[in-house]
Amino acid sequence: MNTPHTPVLLNEVLEQFRDLDSGYFIDCTLGYAGHSKEILNQNPNINLIGIDRDIEAIEFSKNRLEEFGDRVKLIRKVQLSKNLSQPIEEEDPIKGSFNPNFWGFLPILPFQA
């Protein structure tokens, strides 16, 4: 599959995810899923919630990540909450808290469910 974008700092990102045994990670700027695909390949017991506002990127990523089946949930979201530190609501499908480690404002947030 030809991808319109090559992920940057891929090895550095994968290094940060190497010790995750289970749980979810959220890619808040999914784009064409380059980082997310490699994180899923490297970590067979974690799941992805991918968010993007670009419908073309969501559709592309849906096809690109098809092999991961129910480990992937993609969401088209026009605007995210300005405060990601708010507790996750009970009705949300994700339980747990965000653990951004050194990521700071970077868009990929690993956490344990």
> Do the domain assignments include residue 58?
yes
- Total domains in the fold of the chain: 1
Q: What is the pLDDT of residues 17-30, one digit of tens each?
A: 888 888 888 888 89
Write down the pLDDT at residue 24: 87
Beta bridge partners of 49: 26, 73
Q: What is the pLDDT of residues 23-68, one digit of tens each?
A: 888 888 899 999 999 999 999 999 999 988 899 999 999 999 999 9
Q: What is the pLDDT of residues 80-104, one digit of tens each?
A: 555 555 544 433 444 333 334 333 3
Q: Give the type of residue at 28.
A: C
Are the CB atoms for 35 and 11 separated by under 8 Å? no
Write the CATH number for 72: 3.40.50.150
Q: Which carries the bigger pLDDT value, residue 112 or residue 77? A: 77
The Cα–Cα gap between 56 and 21 comes to 31
| pTM (2 d.p.) | 0.69
> Do the domain assignments include residue 91?
no
Q: Which carries the bigger pLDDT value, residue 31 or residue 4? A: 31
> Do the domain assignments include residue 110?
yes
Q: Give the type of residue at 95.
A: K
